[in-house]
Amino acid sequence: MDADAGKARAYLDQAIAAGNSYSGIVLGQALLRGEGLPQDVPAGSAVLEAQIPDGNVAAVAGELGRFYVTGGGGIAADAGKAVAYLEQAVAAGNRQARISIARIYLDGLAGANPDAQKGLKVLLDGAETGDPDSMVELIRIYLRGGGNGMVQPSDLKANEMLKRYAAVGDPNGVRFQTMLVEGARGQPGFRAIGELFIDLNQGDRPRAIREVFYTNKNAAVYLAQLMLKSAGFYDGGANGLLTAPTIKAFLSACRTGKIGKCAEVPLHADTLSFIAENYS
Alpha-carbon gap, residue 46 to 25, rounded angstroms: 11
User: Looking at the predicted structure, is the pLDDT value of residue 3 above 80?
Assistant: no
Distances in whole angstroms, Cα of residue 76 to Cα of each of 70, 73, 103, 270: 7, 8, 18, 33
Are 213 and 238 members of one domain?
yes
Domains: count for the chain: 2
pLDDT in tens, 178-226: 999 999 988 999 999 999 999 888 899 999 999 999 999 999 999 999 9
Task: Specify whether the CB–CB gap between 39 and 25 falls below 8 A.
Answer: no
Are 64 and 185 members of one domain?
yes
End residue of a domain, out of 155, 177, 202: 202
Are 196 and 276 members of one domain?
no
Alpha-carbon gap, residue 244 to 235, rounded angstroms: 12
The stretch 122-151 carries a mean pLDDT of: 95
End residue of a domain, out of 202, 218, 245: 202
Query: Of the ranges 40-44, 133-137, 138-142, which one carries the lowest mean pLDDT score?
Result: 40-44
Domain residues for the domain of 278 are 203-280
Q: pTM of the entire structure?
A: 0.84
pLDDT in tens, 244-269: 999 999 888 887 765 555 655 667 88
Are 256 and 137 members of one domain?
no
Alpha-carbon gap, residue 46 to 30, rounded angstroms: 12
Q: Whole-angstrom distance between the N-terminal and C-terminal Cα of the chain?
A: 46
- Residue 51 has a pLDDT of 87
